[in-house]
Structure 1
């Protein structure tokens, strides 16, 4: 999702979240429509470009218009802007009727009161709760509350590797542990090419990677009560392990510290980088001229053994949810559109196009979702993925800890060694920022 969500950093985002009220679609050039025959829809940038998304979605929206008589005004919003746009809409009342959100934001946006709750009555409008995969519903809001959104596209992280570069380096299989990845990465980091791609300025990607590594170190960023535990030994070790791939192991290019929006996928597609950790990347590779035969896919490595639950978690539960602003002037049309987008037929079309896994059970029966890449993603989601903390301040977590990792990558790119004390200092700052917000 383009797969990775880049959360806009800074105090402005946090202030907006704190001030958010239960406002929704309104009347403006950018906002929700009052006409029963029109809707506004903010779609997240899922494909290789915004224009590609418009090309993919427009025929489907025309299909919905033909079926229902409701015209949908589409805007594809870049991930770098999406959270800020949503939070601004919750305070101004000038938002869309329907929007996509990163599933990790569900609890934070739920806490604003701006999104339509999917209670039993609303679930019935889209065919019932049982149509959806339960793990996908686990990232739609806080436990014990009606979901704030419905799953639209499900994804997980995988390790993508360049088969030709592996063969040339004498590596006969993808790494299964981080030690194997580091060893392979050093062999591959030669002659201006690099072993592993990263996106050090992509705050959400930073969070996704260190969250998984923290799980593998037996730690988490929040305790059972939702209190931040950013400076525990396990979380510090996780962040250091990730940043050391550039600072110590030298398998990530220093320039990756500035990457924030798919540049690592571009490097991979151009044979500049041999491995990348990403969510459902096949569509992007193809759009950039890379044949399917050129790359392989494997589960994200673990510290030892094989992926599973507990300390063998190797992905966050990734995905995109679709939500309705509660104060939309066209709730009936908005829920009808959600029903269309989550229908079996549309799920097969859209998830196949975007290379994601349908969160609707019946849609997964299509043979299109049995190809090797999606088998890895489906297995990961079923057996070794964990949802990010469903806490109200999750977006601040992504901003503060994401920026801490970004700062450490910037130091590493400048040639500095990163000590445990350096990591703890940045995470202490992030934890203090959480407490002051």
Structure 2
């Protein structure tokens, strides 16, 4: 079977193949089993089974933790989790796969799906959706936002996981700080942010903006890639060659250097927590961050911003609205035994279901279900909903390459992107080095000699 590789240059959302392929199967047994199937009965053979997962220290996982006792009571299945830093997650999961560890529920980042699926570490969900004893007739795969189901859970037209803890990049800002500086609305474009807003909002120990840029995936995805797309740039072109020396990519990277003048000292050491806290404590006026951090910014014990918090889409660039896309899916470990696989599926199906979307949202999570966000009461209560849905429905680009080699490329960007920001190399020198090292990785993997096909 040929693998499906997606170049970063591709802007459009992936075709919604998984949901369409499985819709007929879902509908077929839904009509006959809608009244018969219950989670409690489906879980009876697995009562007493313990399944293990990895969670992150983020609001969406804390929300799931609040809801898990309900699942355990209903099913008798015990869910145990380990909370670890994002930066260690992929390595820990890969070691688990290779070393035969005891993780049953796999947390899959959008850029890990190619690696995990290609190595046959994940169970295709068809195994469970084809089993009427395990498949909830109300699963409704087309009820997920297409871009989320396809980007986070699907590889080579096969669905492996269901979207969980997904988000778009948004602009969170302190409207009181903006008002004091003479602005009654946030910047609509990145150019406005840099040239009009930033000088007036940066005074003394107060800064206009914080762009989380810590070396690692935060540098490569949340900082480096964020300034490429709005300017019309990209990491790679359609032939998988570096596109970083293009005028558009260079403009984006130069923009980031100019914006550093209006960011806190040590911004290259800022991860998500530091950027969110800078806004929460009034150190900065604006950040572009994941929608998942809304609960943190509205928690009085963690944030001083209070009623001054406001949210909108990320600013537009010359190429239009091209916000960050991030998040995860939950999948079943192919190396777990059959009983744990079934129990894991029942949990994944339950926590991502339409029935649990509202409880999950109210607990602080961000569900991937379309229906929940059509509720006007939800839109009014959660101000991040409208800009997030606008970003998802507007065709957020395939923000980072999803091929298995991305982790190696990300390490290169993490190192040289940081050096670029620190002034240890020029933008051109850094871009040339990243481009060459990236092409070396892809050449070794077989992309340039026909051993691995490129998506046309």
TM-score (norm 1): 0.80
SS at match of 2:158: coil
Note closer, same or farther for the CA distance 1:251–1:291 as it changes in structure 2 (3 Å cut): closer
Alignment correspondent of 1:198: 211
Separation in structure 2 between the aligned mates of residue 89 and residue 340 of structure 1, nearest angstrom: 25
Q: Which of 296, 304, 310 is 1:284 aligned to?
A: 296
Preserved contact between residue 160 and residue 276 of structure 1 (Cα < 8 Å): yes
Alignment correspondent of 2:118: 111
Give the deviation of 1:242 after TM superposition. 2.1
Give the deviation of 1:393 after TM superposition. 1.7
Larger Rg: 2
Q: How many residues align?
A: 385
Q: Any stretches of 5+ residues in structure 1 without a counterpart?
A: 1-33, 305-310
Q: Deviations over 1:44-64 (max 9, x none)?
A: 22229xxxx55x444422111
Preserved contact between residue 160 and residue 297 of structure 1 (Cα < 8 Å): yes
Q: Any stretches of 5+ residues in structure 2 without a counterpart?
A: 1-45, 446-456
Alignment correspondent of 1:64: 71
Preserved contact between residue 122 and residue 331 of structure 2 (Cα < 8 Å): yes
1:84 paired with 2:91, answer yes
Give the deviation of 1:39 after TM superposition. 0.7
Preserved contact between residue 226 and residue 391 of structure 1 (Cα < 8 Å): no
1:93 paired with 2:100, answer yes
Q: Which of 348, 367, 370 is 2:358 aligned to?
A: 348
Q: Which of 324, 335, 341 is 2:332 aligned to?
A: 324
1:35-434 equivalences under 5 Å are 37-47=49-59, 53=61, 56-119=63-126, 121-122=128-129, 125-126=135-136, 127-140=139-152, 144-182=156-194, 183-206=196-219, 207-224=221-238, 226=240, 228-246=242-260, 250-280=261-291, 281-287=293-299, 288-304=302-318, 311-329=319-337, 330-354=340-364, 356=366, 358-366=367-375, 367-370=377-380, 371-388=382-399, 389-411=401-423, 418-433=426-441
Preserved contact between residue 133 and residue 360 of structure 1 (Cα < 8 Å): yes
Preserved contact between residue 419 and residue 430 of structure 2 (Cα < 8 Å): no
Separation in structure 1 between the aligned mates of residue 440 and residue 420 of structure 2, nearest angstrom: 17
Separation in structure 1 between the aligned mates of residue 404 and residue 153 of structure 2, nearest angstrom: 9
Separation in structure 2 between the aligned mates of residue 40 and residue 213 of structure 1, nearest angstrom: 37
Q: Deviations over 1:228-257 (max 9, x none)?
A: 5444443333223223311xxx11123111
Give the deviation of 1:291 after TM superposition. 4.7
Preserved contact between residue 156 and residue 279 of structure 1 (Cα < 8 Å): yes
Separation in structure 1 between the aligned mates of residue 64 and residue 229 of structure 2, nearest angstrom: 36
Note closer, same or farther for the CA distance 1:431–1:185 as it changes in structure 2 (3 Å cut): farther
Note closer, same or farther for the CA distance 1:122–1:335 as it changes in structure 2 (3 Å cut): same
TM-score (norm 2): 0.77
Preserved contact between residue 42 and residue 98 of structure 1 (Cα < 8 Å): yes
Preserved contact between residue 173 and residue 286 of structure 2 (Cα < 8 Å): yes
Q: Deviations over 1:358-384 (max 9, x none)?
A: 212333344324432211111111115
Separation in structure 2 between the aligned mates of residue 105 and residue 224 of structure 1, nearest angstrom: 21
Q: Deviations over 1:17-59 (max 9, x none)?
A: xxxxxxxxxxxxxxxxx996111121222229xxxx55x4444
Aligned CA RMSD, in angstroms, stands at 2.7
Give the deviation of 1:113 after TM superposition. 1.6
